Chain A
Amino acid sequence: MDDFLLFDRVSKRFDQDWAVRELTLAICQGEVFSLLGPSGCGKTTLLRICAGFEQPDSGRVLLQGRDITALPPHKRPVNTVFQNYALFPHLTLRQNVAFGLKLEKLPRRDIDRQVEAMLELVQLREQGDKKPHQISGGQKQRVAIARALVKRPKVLLLDEPLAALDLKLRKRMLIELDEIHDEVGTTFVYVTHDQSEAMSLSDRLAVMNDGQIEQVGTPVEVYEAPESSFTAAFIGDTNFFEGRVVAQEGDYCRLAIEGLGEVWCYNDRGRRQGELVYLSVRPEKMRLSRQPLELGRNRFSGRVEDKVYLGGESRFWVRVGEYRLAVAVQHSRYLLDQQPLQWGEEVALGWHEDDGYMLQRYAEEHEALLSLPPEDEA
């Protein structure tokens, strides 16, 4: 089914501010769908509208074609994993998981069986008689998931479920979440501001900004082919160029970029001569070398202005014309390399013409989302 869960022109305002604005979004059955965006972009509001905790000012929410907009939370076939887990502190883990089933008035034996199966799934059977304050954050997380999943929801809503955990635990829980999803096959709607979580977990994701959706797609589409400057800058990091099409040649076009020179780019949008375009080139697509590069037609020479060692990679800021370009370089033999690139060195810089991507929408304010290069040392 294509629109298992459908938000149809949903709007919600708090006082004067739009939290969600005329938003339409379709989520497929069984997929892990992420709502990704900075805080205040409306992603949590959208989730709360789906759970029934907020009523939209206008628009509808449809689940399997049924309008659930007016249903109160307790009647919706969706369940939520809350950011702070919201486990009931006066109940044991087992009672927490059984809470929802007891309300369904199921026979006691069925409840026990389902609770045990769910605790087994999240590997907490031995801890079942503990109270929430006696277990760790990651375990609480798993109880919260079990408590929601035992209700067999049509959609499981996860509101920044890993935000309170430390990095290592977060990574492990991501894998566990993925395994749980494989096991139960429920549709997951996952809200996060962390792009790496969204990228690694989701089948598809929506990038949200200012109450609206910037782009919907698979992680690969969103990262490799960002439609807007917001998506390009919010997910990962990038270099923006502003230029005009001066020539077309087969699938490629030549851009004149003021302050840099001429650049070739794959023209998948059929841009015509004279059109203004914005180009995004990700730092890891750039090549840096002391020797002249054997790489396509986008070749420049520049000077290393700054360099930051980040462990997995090094980040260089290279002055080329009026531009200061971010370049990510993965290293090998770092300690044995006799001559790592140094500040002030002249280097050759370039990228493959397929690696630049022309944006459909550009706004200068989104450049603020880029990781800032260190200040110039005069």
Chain B
Amino acid sequence: MRRSRRSECWLTLPSLLWLALFFLLPTLMVFSTSFRPADPYGGLGSGWTLETLARLYSPNYPAIIWRTLWLSAVTTLICLLVAVPVAYTLARARQRFKRLLLLLVVLPFWTNFLIRIFAWKVLLHPEGLVKQGLLLLGLVAPEASLMYCEGAVLLVLVYTYLPFAILPVYAAAERFDFGLLEAAQDLGARPWRAFCTVFLPGVRRGLLAAALVVFIPALGSYVIPDIMGGPASEMLGNKIAQRVFVDRNLPQASALSALLTLAVMVPLLLALLLNRKRPEEPVALKEGA
């Protein structure tokens, strides 16, 4: 027992070193930079200061932080709501159809991220397809703008992160024994009830993973609100970029980044805690032919 423990340590050492060098160290550098004074040329002054932290109390920030949080949360929620039925359909589809659907899910990755976002700009443009279509249907006023608002940011956030939500839920659904749904119905559950009481708990790991891989990067979004949003829909990422590129104030940017990192750590630690209590259950045997 002790021996295998020890060899396990040796085996994980390289990846631990890797993480320490490229993840922990940079994070600590960002944290420490926020305690340094800024110099007028955009570099770091000498000595240590708490002034930057005090300036985090800017009246602008609470609104931006709140917006970042709720945009990310709503994005995660919508992605999960869409990912669950898609993953269910994918897992139950026939082999050939399944391949086609999976291809469609990963197809967006073949095009550059920026180009896809600019494509949305073209679509939502006042002369664009979506706007004109909605106008024809009478669903939108002629003077209304579909761009540069929180709605546009949310739409593109969901669009961007949806595949990342679908894939982990699909992976979990693929291992799910659909015979359990029949068992639930056999015991008196309506199909919808069976879905909620058996399928959703069955793919809960996938749901958790999907929530993390959407929520965490969404918190740090910068490009999407920058291109799709206006000044009233800025997120924390935009502020960090502004501090670096416009104000040339690295300590301020670092302080904001540290804040974001801490915000990301909270759901991550929660997820770890939730997962620790439950050892992986063996996958039930699928019914043979």
Q: Does A274 contact B (CB under 8 A)?
A: no
Tally B residues with Cβ within 8 Å of A.
28
Tell me whether A72 is interfacial, beta carbon within 8 Å. yes
The reply to whether the CB of A51 lies closer than 8 angstroms to some CB of chain B is yes
Q: How far is the CB of A132 from chain B (nearest CB, A)?
A: 8
When A73-B182, A131-B281 are in contact, do A86 and B189 touch as well, CB less than 8 Å?
no
Q: Is A267 an interface residue (CB 8 A)?
A: no
CB <8 Å contact, B179 and A147 = no
A77-103 residues with Cβ-Cβ distance < 8 A to B are 79-80, 82-90, 99-100, 103
Residues from chain A with a CB closer than 8 A to the CB of B182 are 53, 73, 80, 82, 86
Alpha-carbon separation in the docked complex, A87 to B189 (Å): 15
CA–CA, A82 and B180, complex, Å: 10
Evaluate whether A103 and B285 lie within 8 angstroms (CB atoms) in the complex, with A88-B180, A89-B202 already known.
no
- Known A-B contacts A86-B177, A90-B201; A80 and B282 likewise in contact (beta carbons under 8 Å): no
- The answer to whether B8 has its CB under 8 Å from any CB of chain A is no
B283, closest chain A residue (CB): A89
Within 8 A of A (CB), among B141-196: 177, 179-180, 182-191, 193-194
In whole angstroms, what is the CA distance A219 to B149 when docked?
77
Cβ–Cβ contact B188 & A51, under 8 A: no
Size class of the contact patch on chain A: 20 to 34
A308 at the interface (CB under 8 A from B): no
Say whether A110 faces chain B, with CB atoms less than 8 Å apart.
Answer: no
Assess whether B271 is interfacial by the CB under 8 Å rule. no
Closest to A76 in B: B186
| Interface 0/1 of B266-289, CB less than 8 Å to A | 000000000000000110111111
Inter-chain contact B287/A83, CB cutoff 8 Å: yes
Q: Are A100 and B285 in contact (CB under 8 A)?
A: no
Q: Among B187, B190, B193, B282, which residue has its beta carbon within 8 angstroms of that of A151?
A: B187
Is A104 positioned at the interface, with any CB of B under 8 Å from its CB? yes
* B187: nearest chain-A partner, CB-CB: A100
Does A164 sit within 8 A of B, measured CB to CB? yes
Interface centre among A82, A83, A131, by most chain B C-beta atoms within 10 angstroms, is A82
Q: Which of B186, B281, B284, B285 contacts A80 (CB 8 A)?
A: B186
Q: Are A100 and B188 in contact (CB under 8 A)?
A: yes
> B287 and A74: CB pair below 8 A?
no
**Docked pose: A75 CA to B193 CA in angstroms:** 13
* Residues 25-58 of A at the B interface (beta carbon under 8 Å): 39, 51-53
* CB neighbours of A148 from chain B (8 A): 186-187
**B287–A103 CB distance below 8 A:** no
Complex Cα distance A86/B285, Å? 9
Q: Are A73 and B281 in contact (CB under 8 A)?
A: no
7 chain-A/chain-B pairs, Cβ below 8 angstroms: A73-B185, A74-B185, A74-B186, A74-B194, A84-B177, A84-B284, A131-B281
Interface, chain A (partner B; CB < 8 A): 39, 51-53, 72-75, 79-80, 82-90, 99-100, 103-104, 131-133, 147-148, 151, 164
